[in-house]
Amino acid sequence: MADILNVGLDSALLTNRRVNLERAGHRVAQAHDVRQVLAACERKSLDIVILCNTLTESEKMRVADVVRRFSADVMLLDLHNGTRPDLPYADAHLHALESRPKELLLAVDALTHNSKTAPK
């Protein structure tokens, strides 16, 4: 079980992702902007931050910077639309088209166990 912060702009996508992660036993908070990310980081210790493909590359970099200031141990999962990840230094990458519930849960599980099998 992981404490996850799900960050993005599309409420429907975030809610769908949150429901699937919670069904798998994870605790999930959501944020739509850096202010909400900062508040979430101040409230709880996070294991994983999921950066939704609805964020721009610069927004992902800002969120990653804020999160890593609170803890260098937080794992970053970058969901992206392009042929390359938006955030190359993220701990794992998953193309948005491949981020169906099963694949997302596998990626989160790999990160939770700090596995080398996390999708890059």
Domain ranges of the chain: 3-112
Place of tokens 């850096």: 34
CATH number of 3-112: 3.40.50.2300
Asked if residue 93 lies in contact with residue 57, where contact means CB atoms within 8 angstroms, the answer is no
Query: What gap in Å lies between CA 17 and CA 21, rounded to an integer?
Result: 6
Query: pLDDT tens string for the chain (120 positions)?
Result: 899 999 999 999 999 999 999 999 999 999 999 999 999 999 888 999 999 999 999 999 999 999 999 988 999 999 999 888 889 999 999 998 777 889 999 999 999 986 444 555
How many other CB atoms sit within 10 Å of the CB of residue 80?
22
Residue 14: C-alpha distances to residues 69, 71, 78, 108 (Å) = 24, 23, 14, 15
Under 8 Å between Cβ of 93 and 78: yes
d(CA 41, CA 57): 20
